A = this chain, B = another copy of it.
Amino acid sequence: MLSKINPSELWLPGISVDCVIFGFHENQLKVLLLKFIKSPVWALPGGFVGLEEDVDQAAARVLYERTGLTDIFLEQFYTFGDLARNYRATEEHRDVNTAMGRSEDEVSWLSKRYITIGYYALVDYSKVVVNPGDISDKAEWVDVASLPKLFLDHNRIVIKALDSLRKSLDEKLIAFELLAETFTMSELQVVYETILGKRLVRTNFQRKILSLDILDRIEKKYSGGAHKAPYLYRLKP
């Protein structure tokens, strides 16, 4: 991607965006990780900011390029700008560059402090077809509770994103972004519990959610043991 044109003709220097893409699957809150080509190092999906691109657009582009998704919940949560974010200083950086066979130009472009603007996204796991992209050869959804050691400070970035997600859970009703269009009350409760990392009392949870008056209850369909089938809900239009 960077081999033919001088990177400085395309991108802002020293700035990147990193996306913490949360998906929900099998009662786990997962994060999309990419492995650098020919390297054992895993990292968050990220990219540079185009000279003619807002930083929000850069984050949306990265998200689209890796997941094929548009129009989804994507929010800036924090900017990481410590001196230590200098790729040059890390063993990983040397390893990754060597493994990827990067040119001198590319290595020099990357060999400085990068200030990265963190965004988090919530996606319906079932709709994502992951494209690892040019610099990765593998993508994986990993439980936030058992992340490996990631590139540079990416573990800290995930922790900070999760912290922001928790704080926004009630205010922005974003848990619904992780669910399919229709869901049961207990599916919704599991999403809340998983994000918050704690159990909630069923009756209190239901009362709170229903009091918000944001859900439509869908007519029950016959489904075998019909009298046991839970109600399905969806967000009001």
B82 touches A79 (CB 8 A): no
When distances are taken between beta carbons in the complex, the residues of chain B under 8 Å from A231 are none
Please name the residue on chain B nearest to A80 by beta carbon. B55
Chain A residues with a Cβ under 8 A of chain B: 12-15, 49, 52-56, 76, 78-79, 81-83, 113, 115, 117, 167, 171
Please name the residue on chain B nearest to A52 by beta carbon. B83
> Smallest CB–CB gap between A230 and chain B, Å?
34
B15 touches A115 (CB 8 A): yes
> Smallest CB–CB gap between A180 and chain B, Å?
30
The CB with the most chain B CB atoms within 10 A, among A13, A53, A55, A167, is that of A55
A54 touches B82 (CB 8 A): yes
When distances are taken between beta carbons in the complex, the residues of chain B under 8 Å from A113 are 12
> Smallest CB–CB gap between A229 and chain B, Å?
40
When distances are taken between beta carbons in the complex, the residues of chain B under 8 Å from A82 are 54-56
Please name the residue on chain B nearest to A168 by beta carbon. B167
26 pairs from A and B in contact (CB 8 Å cutoff): A12-B14, A12-B113, A13-B13, A13-B14, A14-B14, A14-B15, A15-B15, A15-B81, A15-B115, A49-B81, A52-B83, A53-B83, A54-B81, A54-B82, A54-B83, A55-B81, A55-B115, A56-B81, A56-B82, A76-B78, A79-B117, A81-B117, A115-B115, A115-B117, A167-B167, A167-B171
When distances are taken between beta carbons in the complex, the residues of chain B under 8 Å from A56 are 81-82
When distances are taken between beta carbons in the complex, the residues of chain B under 8 Å from A52 are 83
Within the assembled complex, what's the spacing in Å between the Cα atoms of A54 and B153? 14
> Smallest CB–CB gap between A17 and chain B, Å?
9
Q: Which 3 A-B pairs have the closest CB atoms?
A: A55-B81, A79-B79, A54-B82
Within the assembled complex, what's the spacing in Å between the Cα atoms of A117 and B55? 12
Please name the residue on chain B nearest to A78 by beta carbon. B76
> Smallest CB–CB gap between A170 and chain B, Å?
11
* New A-B pairs, 11, CB < 8 Å, besides A13-B14, A79-B117: A12-B14, A15-B15, A15-B115, A55-B79, A55-B82, A56-B82, A76-B79, A79-B79, A81-B117, A115-B117, A167-B167
